[in-house]
Structure 1
Amino acid sequence: MNTSLPKKPLPSKTLVSKTLLPTSTAGSLPKPSWLAEPETLWSPWKLQGEELTSGQQDALRITLQEQQNAGIDIVSDGEQTRQHFVTTFIENLSGVDFENKKTVRIRDRYDASVPGVVGPISRRKSVFVEDAKFLRQQTDQPIKWALPGPMTMADTLYDDYYQDREKLAWEFAKALNEEAKELEAAGVDIIQFDEPAFNVFLDEVNDWGIAALERAIEGLTCETAVHICYGYGIKANTDWKKTLGAEWRHYEQTFPAIQKSNIDIISLECHNGRVPFEVLEMIRGKKVMVGAIDVATDTIETPEEVATTLREALKYVDADKLYPCTNCGMAPLSREVARGKLRALSAGAELVREELVRTKKEQEDHAA
C-alpha cells in the first residue's frame, strides 16, 4: 500500500467552517459482518494478519462511501480499524498489561475486564496514522479523527503503577499529543478527543481533566474537539440515564472551564435526552457539534425531528458555529439503521440550512 502523504496543505482552522451547518458523526459506525460481530462493542475480528488489514481498509472505504451517499460533510473512518474507542489506542502503549486483565467499574456504572498499567506509559509507535493517511487518500472532504481523552483512558483500565488518576492522565495526554501531531501532518482537519468521563467525574474535570486535555492538544494548528456524551446506546448507559432525573445538568458544572479552554469545538448529546438547551448559552462563542441523532434507539429520526433539535440549539449557538452531529458513536446499531440515521441528519440539516439562507436573503432585501 502506498502510504506517502498526499500533496495537501496543512489543515486550517477555517477549512471546515466554509459550509453552513456542516454535518459529521460523533465517531464509530457499524462494522460489516464479515469483519467483526455486528452490533457489538469489543467484538473480536473475524480476520487475521494481512487479510485483517485488507478487510479493515475495505470497511473504511465502505463506511466512507456510506457517509458520502448520506451527504455527510465532515467524514471519518467510522473507527473501522479499532475494536474499541479507548483500548485500541492503549494496546499500542508501553507499560500496559493486556495479558492479566482485571474487572473494574467503568464510568461508575458498569463492570468490564480491562488491561492494567504496570510500568511507565509511553507511545511505542504511531497507532492510527497509517489509517489516517489511507483515508486522506480516498477523499478531498474534511476529515475528523477521534482519539480517546486522557481522563476517559484513565477510567478504562486499572492502575497498579502510578496509582494516581491525575498523574496517569497526564502521561496519557503526552502520548495522545504525539499521535495527534502526526495525525495533523497526515491531513486530518479535526482531531476529536472522546471524554464521556467528563459527564461523570465533574470535580476532577475542573481540577485537572481540562488541563490534561489541553496538554493533549498542545501545539496543534488543526481544529480540536472534545466529545462529551452520556455514552453508547448500551443497556448500562440507558439504565444509568433513567437515574438522572427530569433534567441532565452535568454540563453546567464543567462548561465555564471548558469555555475558557483552548478546545475549538464541543461535541454534545442533545436529541431525545434531558439536557436543557439553555445550558448551551454558557459556551456561546465556541463551535458546537449538536447531537441531533439518538444512538440509543433503532428508530430512525425524520428530517423534521432533526431540524427541530437544530432550531432549538440555534437559540443559543450562532449559526456559523453549529455543526449537526450524532449524540455518540453508532457501532452497536445495525448498518441499515445507521445509514438511515445519517440520511436523516443530512436532510434535517439541509432543511435548517435553507431556512437560514432564506432568512438572510429576506433581511438583506429588507435592508436594501
Structure 2
Amino acid sequence: MATYVIGFPRIGEQRELKKALESYWAGKSTQQELQKTASELRKRHWTYQKNAGIDLISVNDFSFYDNMIDAMTMLNAIPERYKDIDNCMDRYFAIARGDANHKAMEMTKWFNTNYHYIVPELDVNMDFKASIDKIKIELAEAKELGINAKVNFVGPITFVKLSKIVNGSEDEIIEKLIPVYEDLIAQIKALGVNTIQLDEPYFVTNPTKKDLETLKKVYDKLGGLADIFVATYFEHSNEANEVLATTPIKGMFLDFVAGSENSIKALADAGKIVGIGIVNGRNVWVNDIEKSVEFLKGIAETYDADKIMVGSSCSLLHVPYTLKYETKMDEDIKSWISYALEKLDEIRVIEKLFRGEELNEYEKEVLEGNKIAIATRKTSDKIHDPVVKDRVSNLTDKDKHRSVPFEERIKLQHENLKYPILPTTTIGSFPQTPELRKLRRDYKNGVISEEEYKTQIKAMIKDLVEYQEAIDIDVLVHGEFERNDMVEYFGEQLKGVAFSQNGWVQSYGSRCVKPPLIFGDVSRPKDMTVEWTVYAQSLTDRPMKGMLTGPVTMLNWSFVRDDQSKRTTAYQMAIAIRDEVEALEAAGIKVIQVDEAALREGYPLRNEKRAEYEDWAITSFRITTSSVKPETQIHTHMCYSEFSDIMDAIEDMDADVISIENARSDNSLLKIFKERGYKGEIGPGVYDIHSPRIPSTEEMVEQIEAILEVLPAEKVWVNPDCGLKTRKWEEVKPSLENMVKAAKEVRAKLK
C-alpha cells in the first residue's frame, strides 16, 4: 500500500448523477434506472483510480445525496416522523428534500467548505443498529473489477458532534453507537475487506480534553477490529494524532496542505502508518511535484519510509472531475490547473519519485509538464497588474466605514423607501428554466444575436416585475435571468478571473456549481449589472434591489490563487465590486444587496486563526459597501450559518438589513440576534426553498409569529430562505403568494 485518496467525486464527469437524480425526482425515470446510472458511475470512477495507480480505493464514498444521510441509514438513526414512508428511496429523499407531507431535515455546510450536509437528529432512545446493504452492493461491484477496496464512513464521534441531539447526551449516544460500529466492522470484514477508513474531521476543530478522552475510549475498542485508518482533513489534528497513536488503529490519513502544522512524531514512535495528504483536494492549482518529493524525503529522515503513504489532503469531491473537456480555456491557465483525475497522476508520480522508482513515459510527461507549469506561473504577465496593486496599497480608513451611523441611516432609508412594517422581498434569483438556460447558451454560442437575447431577457424581467407588483411584494428584484450562477456571472466579467467549461463541483444533492478560477490580479473593466437593474427599476415605482455577490463569497466559492495572501486577493475583489456598487447608486438604485452567503464557511477551523480571517473578511465587505450615501440601503444575505460565535463580525459588517436561512432551524438561529440586541433589520427565511413543497399561508403565519416572539416587528423582513433559481415556477408562485398573504395577515394583527 503506497497511494490513496480520501474520496472521489460522485456526480460524474459530465454530471450524469445530477441528470439521473433530477429525472427520477421529476418522475421521468424509475428507481432501477437511477440505480443503474449510479452503478455505472461507481465502476467508472474506480477504474480511473485503479488505472492511475492508486493502491487503496474508496468504497462507500459514493452517495445519492449526502454521506451523512447514508450514515443515518447505516446506523438506523432515522427520525420517527419519516418512518411512515415504506419505500427506502422515497424516505431517503424525503429526509433530504422533503415531500408533500414531510419537511426536509436541516442542512448546513461541511466544515469550511461549500459542500452541504444533512444534519442528523439523534435521540438516545433510537434503535441504533448496523445495516451494510449499500456497502454490500458496492463491494460486490468493486470485487468484479479487482479493486483493492477500503470502505469509508464517518466515524462515531464526528457523526454525533455534527448532529442535533434531541434527547439524551452526546456521551450516551456515542456509548450506544460503539457496539453498532463494532457490528459494522465485523460485517464488512465478513465480506473479505479488512481496510476501513473512519472519518473524524471533528478533531481539527480545537477538541476539548473530554473529546480526546472519548476518542481514546472509542478507538481503543474499534481500532484493533480491522486495519482501521482514521482520516482528518481541512486542518491539523495534532491533539488527536497523539491520542490515536496510543490506540490499536493501523494508521492515520492527515492533511498536510491545510494542516501543514500536522505532527506525526507520536504516530511514528508508535509505528503507525501515516498517509501524507500532500496533493490538494480543495484547490485546482498544480502540485509542485519536486517540492512535495523533497518534503516527503525530509519526513523519511526520521520515519520509516515503508510506513508512509502518499495521497490527497481530503476528498477530491471538492474539485472538478477532469481537464479532458476544457477545450476553450487559455492554454497557459489550463497548464497551471489540476482536477481530480490529474491529481491522481500527481499522487502516483510523487510517490514513485519518493521511492526512487523509474517513471514510465506517461509519468515522465506529467513530471515535465509540471516543471514547466510551475516556472511559467511565477513569471506570467497574465497574473500581475500594477494598477490593481496600487489601488490596494492606497486604501485608507475612510474606505472602510459608512459616513453616517446606522441609527441615522435607517431613519433616512425609511423616509426614502416608504416600506411598511414586515416588508416583503425575495433574496434575488427566480427560476432558471430549461428554456432560459437554452437562451443563454444560444447567445453564448452565437446562435442568436445580442439584440434578440436582450429582448427576451427584458421580456422576462418585465413579466417578473408585473408579477411581483400583482402579488404586492414591497421591495422587488429583477430575477437574475441573465446570470448562470451568483459567482460565475461576476467572475466571467472580472479581469484576473478565468472560467471552465466543465469544472462542476457538487454543492449538495444534484446542485452543482462551477467555481471561478482566480488566477491573477482582479479588476472590473466595465459595468456588470447596471443595465438590467436600471431597466427593471424603470418598470416600477417600488424599490428595485441591485443584486451583487460580495468579495468574501467570491473568494470562498472560487478556486483562489495560492501565490499571494487571501487578504490581498480579497481587497482586490472588494475594490472591483465597490466600483459596481457606486455605478448602481449613481444610476438611481436605492437598495443594493451584497450577498455574503459564504462568509461563515470561510472561517478557519482553529480558534487561533479566526481573528486574522475576520479582519480581512469584514474589511473587504466594508470596502465594498461603505462609499454609498446614507440613504442607500445595503442588504446582505448569509446561508446556513451558526451565528452565535460570529455575531461580533456580523455587527462589524454594518449592513442595514441582513437576510438569513432560517426555515429549517425552528428560529433557533435568531435567538442570538435578540440576546445581542442586533441593531440592523433582519429577514429570517420563512420557508425552505431547498424543498419542492409549497408551504401554506397558515404555516407561514405561524412561522412569522414565531419569529416575532424572538425579534421586534419593526426589525423583521419577510422573505424566503434563499434564492429561487433551483425551484420551478409552479412551486415558487403559490409559495410567494402565500408568503405575502401571511405577512399581510400578521401585519393586520399588529395594527
Alignment TM-score > 0.5, same fold:
yes
Letter in 1 for 2:628: L
Matching residue of 1:211: 619
> Which residue of 264, 275, 278 corresponds with 2:671?
278
**Using a 3 Å threshold, how does the CA distance of structure 1 residues 308 and 153 change in structure 2: closer, same or farther?**
same
Contiguous gaps of at least 5 residues in structure 1? 1-10, 38-42, 231-248, 358-368
- The aligned residue for residue 254 of structure 1 is 646
149-158 or 70-79, larger mean C-alpha shift = 149-158
Work out whether 1:345 is the aligned partner of 2:739: yes
Aligned to 1:287: 681
- Kindly indicate whether residue 181 of structure 2 is the aligned counterpart of residue 181 of structure 1: no
Counterpart of 1:4 in structure 2 is none
1:195-217 CA-partner distances (Å, limit 9, x unpaired): 22123223556332222111110
Q: TM-score, normalised by structure 1?
A: 0.80
- Between the aligned partners of 2:531 and 2:467, the Cα distance in structure 1 is 21
What is aligned with 1:241? Answer: none
Q: Which amino acid aligns with 1:279?
A: I
Per-residue deviation, 1:166 = 2.4
Separation (CA, whole Å) in 1 of partners of 2:502 and 2:566: 18
Question: Hey, what does 1:193 align to over in structure 2?
Answer: 594
Query: Are positions 1:265 and 2:675 aligned together?
Result: no
Q: Does 1:220 align with 2:620?
A: no
Secondary structure, aligned partner of 1:266 = strand
Structure 2: which amino acid aligns with 1:194? D
Secondary structure in 2 aligned to 1:35? helix
Larger Rg: 2
Counting only pairs closer than 5 Å after superposition, residues 1-368 of structure 1 correspond to structure 2 as 13-14=413-414, 15-16=416-417, 18-31=419-432, 33-36=434-437, 45-47=441-443, 48=448, 49-98=450-499, 112-160=513-561, 162-203=563-604, 206-221=614-629, 222-230=632-640, 250-276=642-668, 277-281=670-674, 282-357=676-751
- For residue 117 of structure 1, give the secondary structure of its aligned residue in structure 2: strand
AA aligned to 1:29 is F
* Residue 99 to residue 343, structure 1, CA distance change in 2 (3 Å): closer
Judged with a 3 Å threshold, the aligned counterparts in structure 2 of structure 1 residues 198 and 356 are, in CA distance, closer, same or farther, namely same
What one-letter code is carried by the residue in structure 1 that aligns with 2:679? G
Give the alignment's Cα RMSD to 1 decimal: 2.6
Tell me: CA distance 1:100–1:27, structure 2 relative to 1, closer, same or farther (3 Å).
closer
Contact 1:117 1:161 in 2 (8 A): no
Task: Describe the shift of the 1:146–1:298 C-alpha distance in structure 2 as closer, same or farther (beyond 3 A).
Answer: same
**SS of structure 2 residue aligned to 1:28:** coil
8 A Cα contact 2:681 2:716, kept in partner: yes
Matched letter for residue 50 of structure 1:
E
- CA, structure 1 residues 201+304, in 2 after alignment: closer, same or farther (shift >3 Å)? same
The letter of the residue matching 2:699 is: E
Residues 285 and 318 of structure 1 are in contact (CA less than 8 Å); yes or no, is this contact kept in structure 2?
no
1: CA distance, partners of 2:578 / 2:427? 20
Offset at residue 150 of structure 1 (A): 0.9
For 2:518 and 2:419, how far apart are their aligned partners in 1?
Answer: 43
The CA deviation at 1:18 is 3.7
Structure 1 residue 259 displacement after superposition: 2.0
Q: Which stretch shifts more, 118-127 or 258-267?
A: 258-267
The CA distance in 1 between the partners of 2:467 and 2:709, in whole Å, is 31
Matched-pair contact (CA < 8 Å) for 1:150–1:212: yes
> Which protein, 1 or 2, shows the higher relative CO under an 8 Å CA cutoff with sep ≥ 6?
1
CA distance in 2, matches of 1:117, 1:105: 19
Q: Which amino acid aligns with 1:297?
A: S
Q: Which moved more, 1:44-53 or 1:188-197?
A: 44-53
What's the offset of the Cα at 1:111? 7.1
In the alignment, the residues of structure 1 paired with residue 739 and residue 429 of structure 2 have an alpha-carbon distance, to the nearest angstrom, of 15
Letter of the 2:615 counterpart: D
Distance in 2, Cα, partners of 1:274 & 1:166: 35
Q: Is the 8 A contact 2:667 2:707 kept in 1?
A: no
Give the Cα–Cα distance (whole angstroms) in 2 for the partners of residues 103 and 304 of structure 1.
39
Kept in 2: contact 1:102–1:114 (CA 8 A): yes
Answer whether contact 1:17 1:320 (CA < 8 A) is retained. Answer: no
Query: Is contact 1:104-1:157 (8 Å) kept?
Result: no
The 3-state SS of whatever aligns with 1:251 is coil
Q: TM-score when scaled to structure 2?
A: 0.41
The one-letter code of the counterpart of 1:187 is G
Q: Which moved more, 1:164-173 or 1:69-78?
A: 164-173
- The residue that corresponds to 2:358 in the other structure is none
Deviation per residue, 1:181-236 (Å, 9 max, x gap):
11112222221121221232235563322221111102112110110013xxxxxx
Deviation at 1:33, TM superposition (A): 4.6
**Do the aligned partners of 2:421 and 2:713 also contact (CA within 8 Å) in 1?**
yes
Distance in 1 between residues matched to 2:460 and 2:535, nearest whole Å: 12
Are the equivalent residues in 2 in contact too, given 1:100–1:115 (CA < 8 A)? no
Aligned partner of 1:266: which letter? I
Moved more, 342-351 or 282-291: 282-291
- State the distance in 2 between where 1:75 and 1:167 align: 34
State the AA in 2 paired with 1:151: V
Instruction: Report the more deviating stretch, 204-213 or 65-74.
Output: 204-213
The DSSP-based 3-state class of the residue aligned with 1:120 is: strand
User: Contact conserved, 1:144 with 1:189, CA < 8 A, in 2?
Assistant: yes
> Is contact 2:621–2:653 with CA below 8 Å preserved after alignment?
no
Give SS of 1:200's match.
helix
Which deviates more, 299-308 or 323-332?
299-308
Assess, with a 3 A threshold, how the Cα gap between structure 1 residues 344 and 95 changes in structure 2: closer, same or farther.
same
Structure 2 residues without counterparts, runs of 5 or longer: 1-410, 605-609
Number of corresponding residues: 323
Matched letter for residue 223 of structure 1: Q
CA distance, structure 2, for counterparts of residue 217 and residue 297 of structure 1: 32
* Identity level (%): 26
